[in-house]
Amino acid sequence: MGFLISRLGQTILVLFVAAFVSFALFRYVGDPVNNMVGQAASLADREAMRQALGLDDPTLLQFGRFVGQAVQGDFGISYRFGQPVAQLLAERFPATLELSIVAMIIATGLGIPLGVWTALHRGSWIAQALLTLSLIGVALPTFLIGIVLILVFSVWLGWLPSFGRGEVVSIGGWTTGLLTWTGIKALILPSITLGVFQLTLIMRLARAEMLEIMRSDFIRFAKARGLRRRTIEYGHALRNTLVPVVTIVGLQFGNVFAFSIIVETVFQWPGLGLLIIQAIQFADVPLLAAYLVLIAFCFAVINLAVDVLYAWIDPRVRAAGMGRSAA
Partner 1 sequence: MRFPILLTSVLSAVLLASSPSTAQAPAGGGKVFRYAYRVDPASLDPHALAETFTLSWLGQVYEPLVGRGKNLELVPALATKWEQPEPNVWRFHLRTGVKFADGSPFTADDVVFSLQRVKKDGSDMAYTVASVTEIKKVDDFTVDLVMAKPNPILPVQTTSTYIMSKAWAEKNGATAPASVKAKVENFASNNANGTGPFKIESRQAGVRTILVPNKEWWGEKETNVDQVVFTPIQADTTRVAALLSGEVDMIYPVPQQDAARIDGTGTYQVLKGAELRTMFLNMDQKRDELLNSDVKGKNPFKDRRVRQAIYQAIDVNAIRDRVMGGTSRVAGTMIAPGINGYDAKLDTRIPYDADAAKKLLADAGYPNGFSFGMDCSNDRYVNDERICQAIVGMLARVGLKVTLNAQTRTKFFEKVLARDTSFAMLGWQPLSYDAHSTLQDTMNTPVDKVGTYNVGNYSNHAIDKLTMEIETEIDPAKRSALIAEAMTLDKDDFGHIPVHQAGLAWGVKKGVSVVLRSDDSLELKWVKLD
What is the binding site for partner 1 (CB under 8 A)? Answer: 29-32, 34-44, 46, 49, 52-53, 76-84, 143-144, 147-148, 150-151, 154-158, 161-165, 262, 265-268, 270, 274-275, 277-278, 280-283
Nearer to partner 1, 36 or 194 (CB): 36
Give the rounded distance of the alpha carbon of 218 from its chain centre. Answer: 36
User: Could you tell me the smallest distance in angstroms from the CB atom of residue 92 to partner 1?
Assistant: 8
Q: For residues 316 and 250, give the distance between their C-alpha atoms in angstroms, rounded to a whole number.
A: 20
Which of 281-292 are b and which e, b meaning 16 or more Cβ less than 10 Å from the residue's Cβ? ebbbbbbbbbbb
Q: Please, which residues have CB within 8 angstroms of residue 50's CB and are 6 or more apart in sequence?
A: 31, 33, 56
Closest C-alpha among 198, 142, 259 to residue 150: 142
Nearer to partner 1, 28 or 125 (CB): 28
- Side chain identity, residue 228: R
Closest C-alpha among 298, 65, 91, 32 to residue 74: 65
Nearer to partner 1, 37 or 126 (CB): 37
For the CA atoms of 154, 157, 158, 162, the dihedral, rounded to the nearest 10 degrees, stands at -10
Q: For residues 164 and 180, give the distance between their C-alpha atoms in angstroms, rounded to a whole number.
A: 14
User: Could you tell me the smallest distance in angstroms from the CB atom of residue 225 to partner 1?
Assistant: 56
User: Could you tell me the smallest distance in angstroms from the CB atom of residue 179 to partner 1?
Assistant: 17
* Contact status, residue 49 vs residue 33, Cβ threshold 8 Å: yes
User: Could you tell me the smallest distance in angstroms from the CB atom of residue 242 to partner 1?
Assistant: 35
Nearer to partner 1, 63 or 310 (CB): 63
User: Could you tell me the smallest distance in angstroms from the CB atom of residue 200 to partner 1?
Assistant: 21
User: Could you tell me the smallest distance in angstroms from the CB atom of residue 28 to partner 1?
Assistant: 8
User: Could you tell me the smallest distance in angstroms from the CB atom of residue 270 to partner 1?
Assistant: 4
- Side chain identity, residue 7: R
CA distances from 98 to 137, 193, 247 (A): 22, 14, 21
Nearer to partner 1, 19 or 150 (CB): 150
Nearer to partner 1, 76 or 111 (CB): 76
User: Could you tell me the smallest distance in angstroms from the CB atom of residue 257 to partner 1?
Assistant: 19
Give the rounded distance of the alpha carbon of 249 from its chain centre. Answer: 10
Within a 13 Å sphere around the CA of 153, how many CA atoms are in the beta-carbon half? 20
User: Could you tell me the smallest distance in angstroms from the CB atom of residue 52 to partner 1?
Assistant: 5
Nearer to partner 1, 190 or 254 (CB): 190
